């Protein structure tokens, strides 16, 4: 080899070796930075636990955390714990140090509440800021009264007066307003009408003491109509035919129809000749009677809906006309009811599907296929049912938000995002969501996409679901329907004997991947289990149980949730669609519906469920199950195979089932060039890796 060639080779080797050294140094630095960050997080968790117990012991544990983004949360936690002991200078010192942070807003609000409890009105007035809610607004008015300043109705009370209900903190203020002569009969009746429109009988009752005796008797009828419509309807024959009596009678009949449609019918027969109801009141009563006879599926329900005067019809009554006709399988009546829908309603995917269904049942096959084809363009439960009837693939136009490293760095530079991500990392999820919302309140779509990419890469999956919830962003399916292997869903579902795609669909609908979700009924975690139910499931299955808080651990929640789902499915021959309905509305209620309409095909049975929430719940879960099936396998078992006829045993999809391809039936909607389309037939796992980076609901 020539000497100059050797020289060139040596230079290349030196260059490569230098590159390796730089890469190695960078890798070592990255590892060191990661270790340092994990050390900070561990120290923060210890310090936060101490701060949450009050006092200053947390400070020793927080040595070296002063530059950590969520350090201010430590002192705030200690101050919040000691809220009844601290003084105004201590709080104001924190507010001056961190004037724009969420913990400062919370601390101010909570300290003002404490000052109001102490009735320390001087310090309260010094720290009060408007816009902190009705309770503190009324506390501020109490502070004003304590200083002997009179109230001004227009300045102090006019806005509060329009609220249907007010907190107890407002009671002394309203009493003072009455004593000062501000609560005139005209103003009292204005508030009574607001409360009546909102259905708040208790608010009306609270005002009775300030009305004249005659007016109090009249207002009492309105409160009775709202609080106890049956007794009000029974008493109404003794009421005079006045404007206010007609208002009360209308309220009573409408509310009674919701609860006892037959009793409301009988009351209407007595009262319609006694009171000179206005056309609007008459329409309201007739609509309620027809609607709630329909939800009860009474024998004359369809005739009532058909015969409603046009002025008494609403979108809801027109939809129920379709549902009752479907429940009767009266396909001629179904077509007539569909034709009576408003133009906007007729474009709804549910009614597009049932129009095709009716055409098919009426023997108009060619028209039916055309209608099915139109409905099958929709990526939805009804669109997929239509595709099953037509034998076509499922519509799914998939996109991936492009990763922009420069854009991500810009997002990571936002202080609020730094706090949000660290709060998530240390398990303070509620605080993390609040910081996220505040940091991105005015962000443009590109910034939001980069923020979601960052969150998803760190395991914060619900951000994609709540951010990509409208417009073209809905097509980010791999982010909106995450697969989370570390939580063990597939393995746990398999062990429970249920389809993992269905279990994922339930989880997605129940919590949208918010692992600390908690409902008003105390259902907790990803699959929304009530602690008592979870304890029973654990006992039945020989699984460990360590209390309600363990349901916030995704692995525990999924283990118990899949067993409970299997238990529910077992009550309905394994049918996932019926078990889904029971998961939402309760097994006893679904049993009642089955007793009444068990001869219906599954799609008609779902459409006839009386609860809007449950109808939509089942539709979403079945649709989400298909999406998750695609995410797991690259194709989906037909929704129709999950919708087994009532009474027929359900079998999970196996290797022999003819699966559905997911295809984009038309050019995807216009979007920014940074959102490239992805062929729906790309294996879902590959797509996922390339992206990296609501009748009262029974509790379970």
Strand partners, 663: 395
- Cα separation, 407 vs 256, in Å, equals 58
> 467: which residues sit within 8 A by CB, 6+ positions away?
448, 451, 452, 473
CB 65 within 8 A of CB 47: yes
- Cα separation, 505 vs 502, in Å, equals 5
CB 127 within 8 A of CB 112: yes
Structure tokens that stand for 149 in this block: 């300043």
Q: Which of 321, 474, 502, 337 is nearest to 397 (CA)?
A: 474
> 213: which residues sit within 8 A by CB, 6+ positions away?
none
Q: How far is CA 577 from the centre of its chain?
A: 21
- Cα separation, 249 vs 255, in Å, equals 10
- Listed as own residue / partner, the contacts of 172-177 with beta carbons closer than 8 Å and 24 or more positions apart are 172/142, 172/145, 173/138, 173/141, 173/142, 173/145, 176/145, 176/151, 177/151, 177/153
Burial string for 308-344 (b: 16+ CB within 10 Å, else e) reads beeebbeeebbbbbbbbbbbbebbebbbebbebbeee
Q: How far is CA 563 from the centre of its chain?
A: 24
- Cα separation, 451 vs 693, in Å, equals 10
Q: Catalytic one among 328, 435, 510, 697?
A: 510
For residue 510, indicate whether it is catalytic.
yes
CB 471 within 8 A of CB 478: no
For the chain, how far is it from start to end, CA to CA, in angstroms?
Answer: 79
Q: Which of 324, 356, 386 is nearest to 597 (CA)?
A: 324
DSSP 283-341: HHHHHHHHHHHHHTT-TTHHHHHHHS-GGG--HHHHHHHHHHHHHHT-HHHHHHHHHHS
DSSP 606-644: HHT-S-HHHHHHHHHHHHHHHHHHHHHHSSB--HHHHSP
Structure tokens that stand for 685 in this block: 């796992």
Residues annotated as catalytic are 510
């Amino acid at each position: 080899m020539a000497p100059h060639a050797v020289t060139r080779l040596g230079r290349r080797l030196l260059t490569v070796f230098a590159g390796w050294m730089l890469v190695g140094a960078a890798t070592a630095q990255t590892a060191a930075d990661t270790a340092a960050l994990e050390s900070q997080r561990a120290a923060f968790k210890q310090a936060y636990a101490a701060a949450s117990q009050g006092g200053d012991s947390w400070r020793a544990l927080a040595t070296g955390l002063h530059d950590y983004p969520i350090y201010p949360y430590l002192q705030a936690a200690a101050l919040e714990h000691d809220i009844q002991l601290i003084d105004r200078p201590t709080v104001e010192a924190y507010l001056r140090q961190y004037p724009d942070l969420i913990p400062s807003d919370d601390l101010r609000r909570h300290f003002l509440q404490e000052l109001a409890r102490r009735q320390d009105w001087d310090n309260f007035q010094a720290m009060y800021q408007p816009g902190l809610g009705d309770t503190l607004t009324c506390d501020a008015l109490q502070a004003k009264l304590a200083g002997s300043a009179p109230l001004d109705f227009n300045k102090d009370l006019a806005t509060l007066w329009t609220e249907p209900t007010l907190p107890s903190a407002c009671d002394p203020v309203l009493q003072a307003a009455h004593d000062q002569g501000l609560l005139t009969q005209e103003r009292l009746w204005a508030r009574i009408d607001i409360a009546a429109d909102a259905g708040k009988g208790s608010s009306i009752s609270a005002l009775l003491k300030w009305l004249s005796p005659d007016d109090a008797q009249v207002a009492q009828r309105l409160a009775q109509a709202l609080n106890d419509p049956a007794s009000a309807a029974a008493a109404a024959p003794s009421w005079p035919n006045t404007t206010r009596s007609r208002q009360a009678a209308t309220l009573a009949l409408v509310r009674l129809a919701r609860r006892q449609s037959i009793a409301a019918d009988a009351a209407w027969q007595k009262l319609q000749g006694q009171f000179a109801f206005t056309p609007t009141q008459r329409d309201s009563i007739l609509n309620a009677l027809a609607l709630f006879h329909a939800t009860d599926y009474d024998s004359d329900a369809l005739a009532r809906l058909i015969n409603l005067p046009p002025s008494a019809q609403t979108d809801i009554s027109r939809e129920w006309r379709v549902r009752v006709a479907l429940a009767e399988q009266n396909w001629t009546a179904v077509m007539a009811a569909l034709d009576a829908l408003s133009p906007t309603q007729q474009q709804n995917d549910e009614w597009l599907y049932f129009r095709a269904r009716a055409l098919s049942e009426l023997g108009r096959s060619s028209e039916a296929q055309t209608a099915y084809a139109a409905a099958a363009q929709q990526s939805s439960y009804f669109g997929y049912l239509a595709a099953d009837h037509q034998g076509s693939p499922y519509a799914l136009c998939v996109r991936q938000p492009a990763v922009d490293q420069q854009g991500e760095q810009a997002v990571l530079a936002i202080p609020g995002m730094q706090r949000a991500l660290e709060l998530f990392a240390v398990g303070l999820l509620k605080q993390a969501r609040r910081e996220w919302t505040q940091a991105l309140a005015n962000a443009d779509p590109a910034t939001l996409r980069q923020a979601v990419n960052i969150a998803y890469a760190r395991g914060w999956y619900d951000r994609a679901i709540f951010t990509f919830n409208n417009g073209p962003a809905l097509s980010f399916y791999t982010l909106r329907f995450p697969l989370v292997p570390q939580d063990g869903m597939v393995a746990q579902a398999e062990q429970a004997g249920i389809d993992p795609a269905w279990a994922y669909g339930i989880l997605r609908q129940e919590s949208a991947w918010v692992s600390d979700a908690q409902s008003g009924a105390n259902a907790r975690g990803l699959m929304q289990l009530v602690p008592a139910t979870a304890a029973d499931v654990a006992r039945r299955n020989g699984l460990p149980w360590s209390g309600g808080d363990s349901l916030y651990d995704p692995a525990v929640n999924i283990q118990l949730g899949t067993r409970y789902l299997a238990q529910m499915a077992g009550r309905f021959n394994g049918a996932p669609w019926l078990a889904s309905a029971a998961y939402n509305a309760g097994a006893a209620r679904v049993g009642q519906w089955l007793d009444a309409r068990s001869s219906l095909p599954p799609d008609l049975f779902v459409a006839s469920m009386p609860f809007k929430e449950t109808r939509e719940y089942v539709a979403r879960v079945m649709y989400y199950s298909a999406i998750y099936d695609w995410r797991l396998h690259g194709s989906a078992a037909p929704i129709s195979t999950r919708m087994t006829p009532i009474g027929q045993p359900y079998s999970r999809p196996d290797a022999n089932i003819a699966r559905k391809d997911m295809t984009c039936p038309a050019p995807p909607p216009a979007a920014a060039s940074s959102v490239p389309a992805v062929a729906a037939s790309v294996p879902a796992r590959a797509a996922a890796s390339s992206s990296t980076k609501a009748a009262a609901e029974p509790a379970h």
